[in-house]
Amino acid sequence: MAHTVHKFSSEILKSASDIRKLVSIIPKTNSICVVSGLGETNTLFRELVKSAGQGNQEKALFIFEQIKQAHLAIANELNIPPRHLESCFIELNNRLRIIISSSERVYNEDYDAIVSYASILATTIIARYANLPIIDALKVIKTDGQFNNAKIDVDLSLKLFSEQLVNQSCFVAGNIGSDQKNRPTTFNVHGSNYTAATLAAFVKANEIVIWTSKNGISVIKDKLIPDSLHNSKIDYDGISAIVHVNPMIFSRYTFNIIQQNKLKIHIRNLYDQRNDGTYITATTTAPYLLINEFSNLSMVNFDRLIKIPDLETIPYSLAANDHSSIIINGNLIDQINKIFNSISHHFVANIYTVFITSNCLSERVFNQLIKTLEEQKLSPLTYQLNTRKNLSVLVFDQSVNKQKAIEIIYHHLISIIQQ
């Protein structure tokens, strides 16, 4: 029977009751559970690294004690004896004192050595409560040694992990591995998802279930629309267009693993398990809609990479005091050229750009949207629909009423997807 990989995000690891809930959904066999750090302790670990790196022993030891008591409190509620965590605290304390007393500090190496304990401690607590084994990520996930941005040595890690894997469900700490000298390394953005995707590829998992506090992937990623609907199904093309602009759940590197191995992703809400969440698969015939909004892109000291897949990189200079630039990597060709030539002639101010990815956005529907915006005196400075890549780009003058423009785009497109 194929394995399922479960990944548990920090946002749902805040209390003993959260841990009881997640343990109740884990089968006793054929599940690999990847664990992030507990709730807000990730922030404490980062503050701990900073204080230790500055040689501030008093503050570092105070934060260490906060971290220790936070984990012991949850362990106590789950009736886990403190002795099961003691070795972790001793190792962490020793490492901390070495960093504080050292005259030569290497920030990224120190960061990984300290922060790795966030997921190690969380994994120890949850696995003890679930009475399931732990596969030590530091022993089986080998990396290239790039601190804070490591890449996994696939061949070696596959061999080591396979030797440890059994049919019984197990736990693995997320976002960590070790280099050839056994020094801890972390994976940077969404690192636990990188761990989950890699292990899923190793075992040819039937799916990766990412447990969060949300009902899936929102139609729109913007604080102006907090109660956005969620997509039930999205294909790789839809996710790719957004990931290349702004990683939401996966780094581009993790998403490449998902695509190459045709992994099925299921994003679910731990607190609302009746909700089906969002499925991410190679293809889907279901309509979906993603809107990613960027604001306050200052043209002064501004240099940003906006990526739209599959074309050579083409630089466009913008009219700004310091010759700032945007680099487009995409499939809009002449239209994009006109768009950014237009910007360069009109702007020394701010703009914001709305990217819309939808497999149900026809030219007729897009033109209706533009007409609606124009009627409300919210005309985009320039815009373009690319039907082949299911992508549209709207560029607005920052003086346009941002909230009203976003709301019109959102409600107009939602009315289509609900038809």
Please list, in sequence order, all residues whose beta carbon lies within 8 angstroms of the beta carbon of residue 246, skipping any fewer than 6 positions away: 221, 292, 294
pLDDT tens for 191-221 read: 999 999 999 999 999 999 999 998 888 776 6
Is the predicted pLDDT of residue 352 greater than 90, yes or no? Answer: no
Q: What average pLDDT does this structure show over 321-336?
A: 34
Q: 275: which 2 tokens?
A: 């909700």
Percent of the chain predicted with pLDDT > 90: 51
Q: 208: which 2 tokens?
A: 């990766």
Is the predicted pLDDT of residue 316 greater than 60, yes or no? Answer: no
Find the helix packing angle between 107-130 and 83-101, rounded to 10°: 180
C-alpha 62/C-alpha 302 separation (Å) is 39
Q: What average pLDDT does this structure show over 331-357?
A: 49
pLDDT tens for 146-159 read: 999 999 999 999 99
Is the predicted pLDDT of residue 42 greater than 70, yes or no? Answer: yes
| pLDDT given at position 224 | 57
Q: Cα-flanking dihedrals φ and ψ of residue 354, to 5°?
A: -115, 125
| Residue the block writes with tokens 């050292």 | 102
C-alpha 14/C-alpha 371 separation (Å) is 47
Please list, in sequence order, all residues whose beta carbon lies within 8 angstroms of the beta carbon of residue 186, skipping any fewer than 6 positions away: 111, 112, 115, 116, 147, 148, 150, 175, 176
58 or 392: which leads in pLDDT? 58
CA end-to-end span of the chain: 39
Q: What average pLDDT does this structure show over 64-85?
A: 96
Smallest CA-to-CA distance from 11 within 254, 228, 269 is with 269
User: Comparing 166-175, 181-190, 268-277, 298-307, which segment has the lowest mean pLDDT?
Assistant: 298-307
Percent of the chain predicted with pLDDT > 70: 77
Q: What average pLDDT does this structure show over 241-258?
A: 76
Q: 332: which 2 tokens?
A: 């809009």
Is the predicted pLDDT of residue 235 greater than 70, yes or no? Answer: yes
DSSP secondary structure code for residue 275 in this structure:
S
Please list, in sequence order, all residues whose beta carbon lies within 8 angstroms of the beta carbon of residue 241, skipping any fewer than 6 positions away: 290, 308, 309, 355, 357, 389, 390, 391
Is the predicted pLDDT of residue 413 greater than 90, yes or no? Answer: no
